[in-house]
Amino acid sequence: MLSFALGIGTQNTQGDWLEIYYPAPLLNPDESLVNAAKEVLDVPHGNAAISFLPEDCTRLAKALEAAGHAAQAELAESLATSTRPLVAMFMESDQPPQTAPEVYLKLHLLSHRLVKPHGLDLTGMFGLLRNIAWTNEGAIDIEELPTRRLKARLAGRALSVDCVDKFPKMTDYVVPQGIRIGDTSRVRLGAYLGEGTTVMHEGFVNFNAGTEGPGMIEGRISAGVMVGKGSDLGGGCSTMGTLSGGGNIVIKVGDGCLIGANAGIGIPLGDRCTVEAGLYITAGAKVTLLDEKNQEVDTVAARELAGQDDLLLRRNSQNGRIECLTNKSAVALNEALHAHN
């Protein structure tokens, strides 16, 4: 079994899942735990999302306790008081997800740091997620929003819509240890934030993307992009993800890199690389290579520099050409900024 989780969800009036919260998802759970849960909930073979009722929780808790899994038994017992739909997700193998509960479990596994970006198959996930109004009263189906808004007004409440999106913000589901986020709405569920990461107010981290930590993020980490340890993404900078026209190229930022303010990359960077502020490097951009004496050596497409270490990429202020030379100094981040105890 690849993963198992007990969850509390939200459904629309048609019974479709809108979102699911898994308080304690497990990766590679013990076989005895899975077998105990399967016996109680009558689970079919393969990946399965099983809806169950609060009255099933006590029996499930006893089975898990008898199998020696006190923490999951305690969680199951606590679910007995739920007034919301309950689901148990059994994920035997990593295949393209088939249900919203399966998608949400994979997003939880990423944000809980149990799996790193690109470690799970998310093919086709967008078609399984509904566009949802995320409100102060929880997730609401867009088609049901007018009715819910009127109901709230008639009851003397104001229904506030924070955003309309397929993804919720990560911190409504999990807050990883040792991080800081200036604006939590800018980090989606499914982001992976390593310990010591700071995401400033204008920083953004998409799903299936993130940081090894420590690191300072004041720019955009697009879907599929992973940023290495000790790297700094300056204000307004961006990384081209697989959803941003980058095709199947996996963009990553190595350890000890600096992407300057309003700069950007469309190629993966190795370790200890620096991109000058305001310079956007796309794969086809022509780059002039310089030696240690700043003499021209060659001109190549930026894609030929992909993944190489110790590069300084800059734009010549006199002739406008993009230049590359060896960068011998790594970025030194202030350790005090990344101590999130």
Q: Judge whether 223 is annotated as a binding position.
A: no
In angstroms, the CA 60 to CA 54 distance is: 10
The one-character DSSP state at 273 is: -
Q: Judge whether 59 is annotated as a binding position.
A: no
Pairing of strands 17-21, 3-11: antiparallel
In contact, 36 and 63? CB cutoff 8 Å: yes
The one-character DSSP state at 323 is: E
Is 292 labeled as catalytic in the residue annotation?
A: no
The one-character DSSP state at 56 is: G
The one-character DSSP state at 169 is: B
Beta bridge partners of 187: 205
In contact, 110 and 190? CB cutoff 8 Å: yes
In contact, 28 and 2? CB cutoff 8 Å: yes
Q: Judge whether 330 is annotated as a binding position.
A: no
In contact, 323 and 287? CB cutoff 8 Å: yes
Q: Judge whether 292 is annotated as a binding position.
A: no
Reading the block at residue 109, the tokens are 């596994």
In angstroms, the CA 298 to CA 310 distance is: 17
Q: How many other CB atoms sit within 10 Å of the CB of residue 308?
A: 16
Q: Judge whether 202 is annotated as a binding position.
A: yes
Q: Judge whether 317 is annotated as a binding position.
A: yes
Query: Would the CA dihedral through 41, 45, 47, 48 be positive or negative?
Result: negative
Q: Judge whether 329 is annotated as a binding position.
A: no
Q: Judge whether 77 is annotated as a binding position.
A: no
Q: Judge whether 276 is annotated as a binding position.
A: yes
Residue of 19, 212, 218, 323 with catalytic role: 218
Q: How many other CB atoms sit within 10 Å of the CB of residue 65?
A: 16
Instruction: Give the contacts of 76 (CB within 8 A, at least 6 positions apart).
Output: 6, 57, 60, 61, 64
Q: Judge whether 235 is annotated as a binding position.
A: yes
Residue list, annotated binding site for Mg(2+): 202
Supply the residues annotated as catalytic: 218
Residue list, annotated binding site: 202, 220, 235, 238, 261, 276-277, 284, 314-317
Residue list, annotated binding site for succinyl-CoA: 220, 235, 238, 261, 276-277, 284, 314-317
